[in-house]
Amino acid sequence: MDAARQGYYRAFGGAPGLDYLLSDFRVAMDARGLDGEIRRKGVAIELTTDGADHTIDADEDQLQQIVLNLVRNALAATPSAGRITVRIEAVPAAGEVWLVVRDTGPGIPPALADRLFEPFFTTRAAEGGTGLGLAVVRAIVREHGGAITASSSEGAEFTVRFPARSTGVG
Ligand SMILES: Nc1ncnc2c1ncn2[C@@H]1O[C@H](COP(=O)(O)OP(=O)(O)O)[C@@H](O)[C@H]1O
Ligand SMILES: [Mg+2]
């Protein structure tokens, strides 16, 4: 078992909510050949959680599609020996659960941060990009009552904010 995989199980094993929904993330990546691409590029993938309750109302397959699209983009942008980080974080003050995917690629020019989500917007046409990945991601996120934003510091950072599941209490 490689180090990234161990980290994955440590971070996600048996945890509730979003963690549980993402628990077959590795399997899903394997099935789509992403694991091989990650290995070939020597990119490290790290999954972390703050250990809080990440329960949201979400369709598991669609959630999987969100993560896979964001990781696929991160992988395309990240040079060899780079790093992709997937973080799950509870933000109780906002009643939200965040899924943050960041990479060590070139980042996103501020002028493009909103346009990226438009259908057919791609800077990767030559590599077979369709420009549909982020449009689909945004549609799914909105169906779940959430929002997605892109920003850039060292690399690109995509933040998906989901409403935490209401307990019906209080
Ligand atoms: N992690 C990232 N780093 C830098 N640019 C990105 C990243 N993810 C997406 N982009 C930009 O957003 C565009 C649209 O992404 P997407 O909708 O997934 O379409 P595609 O991947 O087919 O180009 C990409 O062409 C690229 O310019
Ligand atoms: Mg894409």
The helix (run of H) or strand (run of E) holding residue 20 is helix 18-21
**DSSP bridge partners of 83:** 44
CA neighbor of 76 nearest in space, from 22, 120, 34: 34
What per-residue confidence (pLDDT) applies to 109? 93
**Locus of tokens 């994955």:** 8
pTM value is 0.87
Ligand located closest to 77 CA: 1
Burial of 127 (0-12, 13-18, 19+ CB in 10 A): exposed
Question: What tokens were used for 82?
Answer: 């780079």
Give the domain ranges of the chain: 3-163
What per-residue confidence (pLDDT) applies to 10? 38
CA 101 to ligand 1: nearest atom: 1
Q: Give the span between the Cα atoms of 56 and 78, in whole angstroms.
A: 30
Q: Which of 25-34, 46-55, 83-92, 131-140 has the lowest mean pLDDT?
A: 25-34
What per-residue confidence (pLDDT) applies to 41? 92
Angle (deg, nearest 10), helices 34-41 and 60-77: 20
- pLDDT average, residue stretch 108-128: 95
CA neighbor of 116 nearest in space, from 61, 74, 58: 74
| Percent above pLDDT 90 for the chain | 56
Hey, what CATH topology would domain 3-163 get? Heat Shock Protein 90 (3.30.565)
The pLDDT confidence band at residue 5, using thresholds 50, 70 and 90, is very low
CA 121 to ligand 1: nearest atom: 14
Q: Give the span between the Cα atoms of 5 and 124, in whole angstroms.
A: 29
What per-residue confidence (pLDDT) applies to 128? 93
Cα 140 to ligand 1 centroid, rounded to whole Å: 17
pLDDT greater than 90 at residue 13: no
pLDDT in tens, 61-86: 788 889 889 999 999 999 999 999 99
- Whether 134 is in the pocket of ligand 1, judged by its Cβ within 6 Å, is yes
- Whether 157 is in the pocket of ligand 1, judged by its Cβ within 6 Å, is no
Ligand located closest to 104 CA: 1
